[in-house]
Amino acid sequence: MVKEMKFESSSSNPFSSPSSFLKHNHVFLKFAVCFLLVGLAFRFSDSIRLISVLQPLPPSIETEQETEETESNVSSFLSQTPTSPPTIDSPATNITQNSENVKCDIFTGEWVPDPSGPRYTNESCPVIESHQNCMKNGRPDSAYFYWRWNPRDCELPKFNAQRFLALMRNKSWAFIGDSISRNHVQSLLCLLCQVEQAVEVYHDKEYRSKRWLFPSHNFTLSVIWTPFLVKAATFEDMNGVSTSEIQLYLDKLDKTWTDQYTSLDYLVISGGKWFLKTAIYYENDTVSGCHYCPGKNLTELGFEHAYRNALRLVFNFIKGSDHKASVLFRTTTPDHFENGEWFSGGYCNRTVPFKEGKVDLKDADTVMRNIELEEFEKASDKGAEEGVRLKLLDTTHLSLLRPDGHPGPYRQFQPFAKDQNAKVQTDCLHWCLPGPIDSWNDLVMEMLINGEKYK
């Protein structure tokens, strides 16, 4: 794609008063006419050559460097196009259009080198939790800082903290879900604190749910811990060690978030990995089955049954509420454990992103993603008629390509300081800060600013 180019020419006729020449010299007039005709002939010939030059070169001749320069120039132009006021007010897909009316999917693309590096560090951001503070914990490499997500056919501007805060004046935003949601909100806080420091105004007993205030903008940002989105009783410590099966109520939403719903202007909701855990399922206050509960003499319903029911309940609640908040539903996050899981020696020691087509989702992630897309599509189709503001934040694929962005063994402070061969628990699910998850907020910002393009 190239910009439209306009060529203007100035062809003022030096013979501005031909009648005076008629009066004085007919011979000279004939000479002037002949000269003019010859000149026009040359101009016509030049025009033909100019048209020829403007035709696109055949693919075999056009160099890769010229293509990249053209795309770069166009992307630069698109990023300067004025944008509309913030809204997330129509049913969601991930399609937008650039200024040339070419469709663009911001969730399809590749990770490209970015020499500018991270927008903050662990020293400039005071809210990074220890498990995601890879720099402080001693991770020796830093190449994972220098990549950015690049959609295939359009430009994705970097997150603009100052503009975001200006748009969020007197607003409230909540991230609702599990520890990945907490990871995400930390990334957003780190980006915003480069403009204004947030003040923590609330936390629950275990510091899983928190709320911050940006005083000069009267903007409230929260993370609400509810890993299933539905009512659940869990018996697991902060290290993932469980003493009993999870009790999961598939027909009751978790009031931890629904009681706050009407006070929120924007929400990012997500489910996922917790549904893979052993659980006993309840419906109508009666045990209806389970997932992975050998020896319990219960019907194995599978996590698919539970996840679909939970999402359907969530979307029905959003559609049925009189409060029309703007809601982003974030898709499942794949992990990158290799040769085992977190509890069985799995690791993630890659240092560069995957190339497109070089990695596939694990079976469980594929199942979860399909359920998400199916239930979301049903909800968005019906919700459009009721004025529901629901969109899809599809981070699954771009996250799949980043095996290099996890804490790995550096979820604890200096794990190999005393013993280079120490056996430590690895984290190949959450994200280092700064790290790839910062690009999620680039996507959120784009959807906020250009919401009308994501229909």
Active-site entry in 75, 172, 179, 222: 179
Active-site entry in 430, 438, 439, 442: 430
Q: Has 430 been annotated as catalytic?
A: yes
132: DSSP letter = G
Q: Has 72 been annotated as catalytic?
A: no
SS3 (DSSP) at 329: strand
Answer for the pair 147, 113: CB distance below 8 angstroms, yes or no.
yes
Count other C-beta atoms under 10 Å from residue 303's C-beta: 22
> Residues near 212 by Cβ (< 8 Å), separated by ≥ 6?
189, 198, 199, 200, 201, 220, 221, 222
Answer for the pair 443, 395: CB distance below 8 angstroms, yes or no.
yes
CA atoms within 13 A on the CB side of 434: 22
For tokens 């991230």, the residue is 175
Question: What is 400-430 written as a DSSP string?
Answer: HT-GGGS-BTTTSSSTTSS-TT-----BSSS
Tokens of 83: 């944008």
d(CA 148, CA 433): 14
d(CA 227, CA 229): 6
Q: How far is CA 256 from CA 201, 211, 230, in A?
A: 17, 13, 9
Q: Has 47 been annotated as catalytic?
A: no
For tokens 């906020």, the residue is 448
Angle between helices 363-383 and 302-320 (to 10 degrees): 20
Q: Determine the residue type at 333.
A: T
For tokens 């899981």, the residue is 341
Going along 156-283, which residue ranges are E strands? 172-177, 199-203, 210-214, 219-225, 230-233, 246-253, 266-269, 279-283
Which residue, among 267, 309, 271, has the nearest Cα to 288 in the 3D structure? 309
Angle between helices 179-192 and 438-449 (to 10 degrees): 70
Kindly list the catalytic residues: 179, 427, 430
